[in-house]
């Protein structure tokens, strides 16, 4: 096992901020594809049980209507994706996008206990998750990824004392404000 670890380390993937950049790129893709899905009728219909039962999202249908709620989520997700994309060059926009990302996934995670049909009959004394809940479980990981990115950029901004564009070369190593 130590031979495998040594070989992985020699690849150089763990000496730079590849994890940070890979997660950021993945989050941009997630927001663009999730937003794109809401353009279509089928995407809007799939969201009905999620939005209408979420304690932080149930107000969307009364406020905007069926298509308006879907459209507002689409616009928000694309805006957050754009902020994360621009964050490669401007950390102020990045932190804003990451805060929005954290709020988005915190809101969707709160839907889990309230989704009808989300929990099957008890499986050995513990409720088993069913289809809709399984779909939302990924949002817990996306919330963690959003928080990771937010933490990294707040540390970078605090260390440099500014939130304006700066070279990613200067940010390669994790910096803690001192």
pLDDT the model gives residue 176? 45
pLDDT the model gives residue 162? 59
The answer to whether residue 92 sits within a structural domain is yes
pLDDT the model gives residue 143? 97
Q: Give how many domains the chain has, as a whole number.
A: 1
d(CA 83, CA 101): 10
Best CA proximity match to 107, nearest among 40, 67, 150, 60 = 60
The answer to whether residue 172 sits within a structural domain is no
The 10 Å Cβ neighbour count of residue 23 is 19
Model pTM score: 0.80
The answer to whether residue 12 sits within a structural domain is no
Low-confidence ranges of the chain (pLDDT < 70): 121-126, 161-178
18-67 pLDDT, tens per residue? 889 899 999 999 999 999 988 889 988 988 989 999 999 999 999 999 99
* Residue 90 domain boundaries: 18-165
């Amino acid at each position: 096992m130590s031979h495998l670890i040594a070989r992985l380390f020699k690849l150089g993937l763990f000496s730079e901020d590849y994890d940070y950049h890979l997660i950021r790129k993945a989050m941009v893709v997630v927001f663009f594809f999730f937003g794109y899905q809401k353009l279509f009728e089928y995407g809007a219909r799939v969201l009905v049980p999620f939005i209408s039962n979420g304690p932080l999202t149930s107000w969307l249908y009364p406020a905007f209507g069926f298509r308006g709620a879907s459209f507002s989520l689409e616009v928000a997700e694309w805006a957050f994706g754009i902020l994360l994309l621009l964050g490669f060059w401007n950390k102020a926009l990045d932190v804003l996008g990451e805060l929005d990302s954290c709020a988005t996934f915190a809101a969707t995670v709160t839907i889990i206990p309230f989704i009808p049909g989300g929990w099957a009959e008890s499986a050995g004394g513990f409720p088993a998750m069913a289809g809709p809940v399984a779909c939302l479980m990924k949002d817990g990981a996306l919330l963690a990824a959003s928080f990771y990115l937010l933490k990294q950029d707040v540390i970078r901004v605090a260390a440099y004392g500014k939130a304006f564009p700066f070279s990613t070369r200067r940010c390669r190593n994790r910096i803690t404000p001192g």
